[in-house]
Copies of this chain bind each other. A is one copy, B any other.
Amino acid sequence: MRITEIPTPAVLVDSSRLAANLTRMQSAVSARGMRLRPHAKTHKSPHVARMQIGRGAAGICCAKLGEAEVFADEGITDIRLPYPLHPVNADRVFALADRIALSFIVDDPAVARAWSDRAHGRGRTLDVLVKVDVGFHRCGIDPGLPHAAETLRTISALPGLRFRGLLSHAGHGYGAASELEMEGVAAAEAKLLRDLASASGVTCDEISVGATPTARFSVQQHGITELRPGNYAYFDRTQVGLGAATWNDCALTVLARVVSRPARDRVILDSGSKTLTNDGARGFSALPGYGVVMRDLAAAEPDLSLLIERLSEEHATVRVVEGETTLVTGALARIVPNHSCVVSNLVDQVWLVDGEQVVERMAVAARGRIT
């Protein structure tokens, strides 16, 4: 079966590009003696997780307990949640920790104490890492505060918790304006973590960092033990814009059909924000539009004469910014989205393809597991 027979719109994942992406990242991380623990948020698929572990990954990451429960059901035995779990979820956490090697983050001594009390009371031990805010300013303890080292000592000494080390996410790398700036983000992150570990005097068996755009620089940093990129499995327009991938690495594309050609300079596709999302693209230079229409169904290079100007929920309004287009009503197009993680989260299954050949359907088993 060829992709031209797939009902549209559809999310396609190229199995050759996927396999190559997984192998390349694993090799780069292993070559430095670090561990790779991919974040599964991008694919939410046990099949892809097994491909990652088969290549040497130490385990996976999930954002939410519900995702981890799906992967545990599918036989994944080592899952880290780089997410500040709240003790309201204690029953689910202990039940999951009965089945797999589970670890998660804390960034608040009070919450850590609550977890400690619950674990201690049950005669259990929970593996935790302390989240450090290295500049993204989301969660994490601020390493610049005078009591940061003390917080680390306090948490690491709590009974019922097995302190594993430090964990960070350099999400601000997505705002870098150049390769040099991206490298600086990765270097500064590693230094902050090393310095905090050293200042605290606490043994950190793990120093874990994660983000696809900084990964290529994080592998060169001293002291890092683990990388947790997620998006690298599929990549997307943002990663191309940030120098982390080429168009030929983009494994996830959206297959769409032209359903209207109301004007010479306007093409309407059947993929709207309920397929592509309104997530914008990041990059070293500004990237307007809601994804990139590729030149042909081989999806090897973008067609820069087309701009996905606006998304309605079920329509993409594409402007022909230059010349003519072959996209007549009924024609198919492949789109590299701005952000692949949120796209796979919208569908119950993706189509595994190899070039223009369909291989099989793959369930996005952990889709929508938000709690």
Q: Which residues of A line the B interface, CB within 8 A?
A: 7-10, 41, 63-64, 83-89, 107-108, 110-111, 133, 137-142, 171, 257, 259-263, 266, 268, 270-271, 273-275, 277-280, 310, 312-315, 317, 329-330, 341-342, 345-348, 368, 370-371
Asked if B280 and A84 sit within 8 Å, CB to CB, the answer is no
Instruction: Give the chain B neighbours of A342 by CB distance below 8 A.
Output: 273-274, 313
Given contacts A274-B345, A277-B278, A278-B278, contact A141 B262 (CB under 8 A): yes
* Smallest beta-carbon distance A249→chain B, Å: 21
Asked if B314 and A63 sit within 8 Å, CB to CB, the answer is yes
Asked if B108 and A261 sit within 8 Å, CB to CB, the answer is yes
Give Cα distance in the complex from A111 to B64, angstroms.
Answer: 46
Asked if A84 and B278 sit within 8 Å, CB to CB, the answer is no
* Smallest beta-carbon distance A347→chain B, Å: 6
Q: Of residues A89, A271, A278, A370, which shows the largest number of chain B Cβ atoms within 10 Å of its Cβ?
A: A370
CB < 8 Å: which of B139, B313, B317, B330 contacts A41? B313
Give Cα distance in the complex from A38 to B122, angstroms.
Answer: 53
Given contacts A313-B41, A313-B342, contact A133 B63 (CB under 8 A): no
Give Cα distance in the complex from A370 to B84, angstroms.
Answer: 34
* Smallest beta-carbon distance A231→chain B, Å: 11
Give Cα distance in the complex from A111 to B278, angstroms.
Answer: 29
- Could you list 20 further interchain pairs (A-B, Cβ under 8 angstroms) beyond the known A107-B262, A140-B260? A41-B313, A83-B314, A84-B268, A85-B259, A86-B259, A86-B270, A86-B330, A108-B262, A137-B317, A138-B260, A141-B262, A171-B312, A273-B279, A274-B370, A278-B278, A278-B279, A278-B280, A313-B345, A347-B368, A347-B370
Considering the complex, give the chain B residue whose CB is closest to the CB of A273: B342
Given contacts A273-B279, A330-B88, A347-B368, contact A140 B110 (CB under 8 A): no
Considering the complex, give the chain B residue whose CB is closest to the CB of A257: B86
Asked if B139 and A263 sit within 8 Å, CB to CB, the answer is no
* Smallest beta-carbon distance A157→chain B, Å: 21
Asked if A140 and B262 sit within 8 Å, CB to CB, the answer is yes
Instruction: Give the chain B neighbours of A262 by CB distance below 8 A.
Output: 107-108, 133, 137-142
Q: List 7 A-B contacts (CB under 8 A).
A: A110-B329, A138-B268, A139-B259, A139-B260, A142-B263, A273-B342, A277-B277
